[in-house]
Amino acid sequence: MKQYSFFLKLILLFIIFYWIFKSVNIKDTINVLEKTNITYFLLAVLLSNLSSIFLTIKWQRLADPLRIKSNFFELLKLNYISIFYSSFLPGQSSGELIKGLRMGKKESSVQKAWIPIFIDKITNLLIILIIGLIAVLSDKTFQTNKTLIFIVSLLTVSFSIITLMLFSDDTRQFADFLKARLIKGLRFLKLKTDQLDSLSLDYLESYKKHNLLMFETLIWSVLIKLPHVVAFYFLALSLNINLNLIQCAWLFSIVSLITLIPVSFSGIGVRESALIVILAKIGIERFNSLSLSILIFLVGILVALIGGVFELCSDNKKINEKTN
């Protein structure tokens, strides 16, 4: 089954790249990239790193009720390492998996580590959808598209309800309900559910004593995502592409959701084709769209490489400890 999935992804990527190379003038793309304003590009890189710092603060606040021992710098390193693996393996879940396993090993409780990660992902997705919804409603190109507005609104309301329930008095009952439905679905698909059966949700109860934590978590989620929106704006400026902040907001939302699809590492190919199609609706030339997507990819890789350095240093430290 895994082999079939792998080959299907390869075929899909081949089709995507073939379409990109056939529909975009690569020489024009290179010419645009050669004229990149380095100052704006570096500002985008700095903003992306600022987002990582805010993410660490948010995760630390979510970890406090569970009495997780790791300090801020340890969590920051782990977040960068998570970004590194998410960038070089298909989909973003790979990085979160590494984060959860390593934190679980340090805390001697995998389940305790997964709770703040789960809440972090849910609230981040909610803020992405809210930013996207506000941007779509504010943009003349998309505000007349009732189907798009309905879908984004439905997703936003759904994640809002889930987020509220996670911090409500009915947290345990709601989580048990979701767990039971998920187990039932997996068994219907004849998949193993042993690990999910043994998953304890007792740690969710720890958040009941922190009534304001939900609002604080959402505020940190906004602070995490806004630098990315501004970073997209600076990347557009670096290529002399005429995009305003509203357009960059829905652009960021689309890219964030697209790169969740586990087809290629760092969403390469999928992101490019999506931006080419979507930006064409507002009159952006295809080679400009491809150039912007490449810069978005490069910023992500530069941030991820910081995690690669942390990972390399961690491996060297382990080797030294073993030899000593």
Distance CA 181, CA 162 (A): 15
pLDDT tens digit at each of 324 positions of the chain:
555 666 777 787 788 888 888 888 889 999 999 999 999 999 999 999 999 999 999 988 888 777 777 788 888 998 899 888 888 776 556 677 777 777 777 766 666 677 777 788 888 888 998 988 888 888 887 778 788 788 888 888 888 887 777 666 666 676 677 667 767 766 765 656 665 566 665 666 666 666 677 788 889 999 999 999 999 999 999 999 989 999 899 888 888 888 777 677 777 888 888 889 888 888 899 999 999 999 999 999 999 999 999 888 876 665 555 555
Report residue 226 CA to chain centroid gap: 13
Q: Please say whether the dihedral angle defined by the alpha carbons of residues 147, 294, 87 and 96, taken in this order, is positive or negative.
A: negative
Q: Are 235 and 295 in contact (CB under 8 A)?
A: yes
Cβ-Cβ contacts under 8 Å for 214 (sequence gap 6 or more):
163, 164, 166, 167
Q: How far is CA 113 from CA 31, 62, 83, in A?
A: 47, 10, 17
> Which residue from 218, 221, 245 is spatially nearest to 234, judged by alpha carbons?
245
Q: Which long-range contacts (CB under 8 A, 24 or more apart) does 139-147 make?
A: 139/246, 139/247, 139/250, 141/281, 141/282, 142/250
323 SS3 class: helix
Distance CA 114, CA 191 (A): 21
pTM summary value = 0.81
Q: Are 71 and 65 in contact (CB under 8 A)?
A: no
User: In this structure, which amino acid lies at residue 52?
Assistant: S
Distance CA 256, CA 243 (A): 18
Q: How far is CA 152 from CA 6, 214, 224, 309, in A?
A: 30, 22, 20, 38
Distance CA 31, CA 157 (A): 43
